[in-house]
Amino acid sequence: MQVSVESQGNLGRRVTLSLPADRLQSLVDTRLKDIQKNANIKGFRPGKVPANVINQRFGDQVRGEAIEGLLREGLTTAIRDNDFNLAGNPSITPVEGSELDYIADIELMPEFGDVDVTALNVTRNTAEVTDADIDTMINNLQQQRRTWKPVERGAQEGDLVGFESFSTVDGTRYPEEGFERNATAIGSNVILPELEEGLKGLTVGESKTIPVAFPEEWRIAEFAGKTVDITVDVKEVSEPVLPEVNEGFIRSFGVNSGDMDQFRTEIRGNLERELKGALMQRLRRAVGDQLIEKYQDVEMPPRLVEQEARSMVAQVAEQARQQGQHYPVDSDAHLGFLDSARKRVLVAMLVGEVARKNDLRLDGARVNETINLIASTYENPQQVIDLYAQDRDLLANVQNRVMEEQVIDWIAERAQHTDVPLSFTEAIAPAA
């Protein structure tokens, strides 16, 4: 097999492979004869199917498999002989007008040199679950089960206010006729703050015109960046009624004993799992930011970065779809994600490089612990554990996640680090 390699930039290599016609035909003929010996095709006795029928039925498939095998063999040889350290999978395409010539475009890992993690300065956040956090969670659960009781007083913080409204801007009424029907709990921040504040103190049957400044990016073009007069007519004011935290309430959350101590223990376990994930995410971001700052000038493989950017676009589009929204995916939509994608690829490569150079191995016990933690959030934990044991893709995802966490911990431990305590609420809050 003829193999040639040419450079395309610092990290790109183009490998041209010319497959030997005689060897390819030999592989195809041998495989077809093997199939003919055992073929069981209707209308023919087993092992007696004519060669032309075998070739017609299986020829294209066998030839494709033989070509794939030869390409894999030639590419493996080229990679080994040139000591290539690949970044991602090669892109293989046939040469136009030829059945035997193929081009494999590959990208190489950049050279990072010695990754000195001791030069990094990492902030490590710490936090713990307190009894007050458990109390807050129980109150949140009560809020989820709250009912509403109509009141005759003015609306106040926490009340549910039902109202009809119309808006006026630049002398135009919206809607032209009738009213819009709305309801909001004061303090929920679901509607604009000025409108929510304006509802306070109003009683059923009371009307009021509230001037509200709309943001520049508001979805209704006629309101965007303008002050709109919203006239409200209050139809209902109700105060929340929280359920009592008794045995029935506790059992409704899966604690069959109805025991308060067990309820609090299970809530603590759930909060600690959430906290552990949040602290790891913060540490991952802190270590990643330091690695990006130190190695920001290292060239990244462009095709790999583009693939990551396109993957990010697909994730955003899928999230929008799940929320009932449409995210337009144009051919160049990935361009706006290239910078973020480059940073992701850079951190992933550096994490892998640290693991390789320091011979870090996957901790099987930590994998099992992670699977057990995931399973514990389901009604039948053992069923989930068995699913991970049987599904290689699911297991691989957990293994990759655990390996990354191990490396992040390893880096943070050896870097210069500052421990900064946070409350539980601060720790689980989304990053700014």
* pLDDT tens-digit readout, 219-273: 888 999 999 999 999 999 999 999 999 999 999 998 999 999 999 999 999 999 9
Selection from 228, 221, 232, 143 nearest residue 180 by Cα: 232
As given in the structure block, the two tokens for residue 188 are 């929920």
Q: What is the pLDDT of residues 342-372, one digit of tens each?
A: 999 999 999 999 999 999 999 999 999 999 8
SS (H, E, C) the chain: CEEEEEEECCCEEEEEEECCHHHHHHHHHHHHHHHHHHCCCCCCCCCCCCHHHHHHHHHHHHHHHHHHHHHHHHHHHHHHHCCCCECCCCEEEECCCCCCEEEEEEEECCCCCCCCHHHCEEEEEECCCCHHHHHHHHHHHHHHCCEEEECCCCCCCCCEEEEEEEEEECCEEECCCCCEEEEEECCCCCCCHHHHHHHCCCCCCCEEEEEEECCCCCCCCCCCCCEEEEEEEEEEEEEEECCCCCHHHHHCCCCCCCCHHHHHHHHHHHHHHHHHHHHHHHHHHHHHHHHHHHHCCCCCCHHHHHHHHHHHHHHHHHHHHHCCCCCCCCCCHHHHHHHHHHHHHHHHHHHHHHHHHCCCCCCHHHHHHHHHHHHCCCCCHHHHHHHHHHCHHHHHHHHHHHHHHHHHHHHHHHCEEEEEECCHHHHHCCCC
Band (201; pLDDT cuts 50, 70, 90): very high
pTM: 0.76
Band (321; pLDDT cuts 50, 70, 90): confident
Q: What pLDDT was estimated at residue 280? A: 93
Q: What pLDDT was estimated at residue 47? A: 77
Question: What does the alpha-carbon distance between residue 266 and residue 330 come to, in Å, rounded to a whole number?
Answer: 46
Band (211; pLDDT cuts 50, 70, 90): very high
Is the separation of the CB atoms in 236 and 184 below 8 Å?
no
Beta pairing class for 121-126 and 416-421: parallel
Q: What pLDDT was estimated at residue 5? A: 92
Q: What pLDDT was estimated at residue 152? A: 94
Q: What pLDDT was estimated at residue 432? A: 61
Domains in the chain with CATH codes = 2-107 (3.30.70.1050), 117-130+255-428 (1.10.3120.10), 147-241 (3.10.50.40)
Q: What is the mean pLDDT of residues 197-210?
A: 96
Q: What is the mean pLDDT of residues 379-408?
A: 92
